[in-house]
């Protein structure tokens, strides 16, 4: 964690939802495909609360219906931890389109010059990692889901960092904060 008086290296954390926070295999959906409820993946709750306790602004950058995310995160008491939500239904595009990430970054007040000080965590190499890398964000791939490709299609999908559990993000952030700015 950053020492008092020292400028924090990481300004914000952007998070995907499905198989990054929410176990997609547990989703109960309505007729149009919006998720009514679902379970979190192990450690997601603790990671979210840990980020909030450390003072990181947290943004959701996710593809899907707005109702999905409000339903699931309210169910687990996490909705209020998000400073910002960039949801494809509202933005009008899906990841890896840069507008998804820029919507969150703009709402957080992060300028382009500081994109390299923002972490994006996701489980999908072609959406989350490619999108983050395209903007110069610090890409973190959560290697958890059995439902997604584990092999980057090309260099644009290679993550800067890989973690196996959500809680490992907190240790990674400590290491990133310790690096010289």
Q: Distances from the Cα of 49 to the Cαs of 72, 82, 151, 153, 170, in angstroms?
A: 16, 10, 30, 33, 10
Does CATH place domain 12-22+40-67+77-178 in 3.40.50.1000? yes
Q: Tell me, what's the pLDDT at 7?
A: 61
Q: Tell me, what's the pLDDT at 2?
A: 41
Q: Tell me, what's the pLDDT at 181?
A: 63
Q: Tell me, what's the pLDDT at 79?
A: 98
pLDDT in tens, 123-136: 999 999 999 999 99
Q: Tell me, what's the pLDDT at 5?
A: 43
**Predicted structure pTM score:** 0.94
Distance CA 83, CA 36 (A): 22
Q: Tell me, what's the pLDDT at 143?
A: 92
Give pLDDT < 50 ranges for the chain: 1-6
* b/e 143-181 (16+ beta carbons within 10 angstroms → b): ebbeebeeebeeeebebbeebeebebbbebbeebbeeee
Q: Tell me, what's the pLDDT at 124?
A: 96
Residue spans per domain, the chain: 12-22+40-67+77-178
């Amino acid at each position: 964690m950053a020492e008092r008086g020292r400028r924090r290296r990481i300004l914000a954390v952007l998070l995907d939802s499905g198989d990054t926070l929410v176990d997609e295999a547990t989703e109960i959906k309505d007729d149009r495909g919006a998720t009514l409820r679902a379970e979190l993946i192990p450690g997601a709750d603790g990671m979210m609360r840990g980020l909030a306790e450390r003072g990181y602004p947290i943004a959701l950058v996710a593809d899907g219906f707005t109702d999905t995310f409000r339903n699931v995160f309210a169910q687990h008491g996490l909705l209020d931890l998000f400073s910002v939500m960039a949801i494809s239904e509202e933005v009008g595009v899906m990841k890896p389109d840069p507008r998804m990430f820029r919507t969150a970054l703009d709402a957080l007040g992060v300028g382009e010059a500081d994109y390299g000080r923002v972490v994006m965590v996701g489980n999908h190499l072609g959406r989350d990692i490619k999108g983050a890398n395209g903007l110069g964000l610090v890409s973190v791939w959560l290697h958890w889901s059995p439902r997604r490709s584990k092999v980057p299609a090309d260099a644009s999908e290679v993550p800067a960092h890989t973690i196996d559990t959500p809680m490992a993000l907190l240790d990674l952030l400590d290491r990133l904060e310790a690096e010289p700015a």
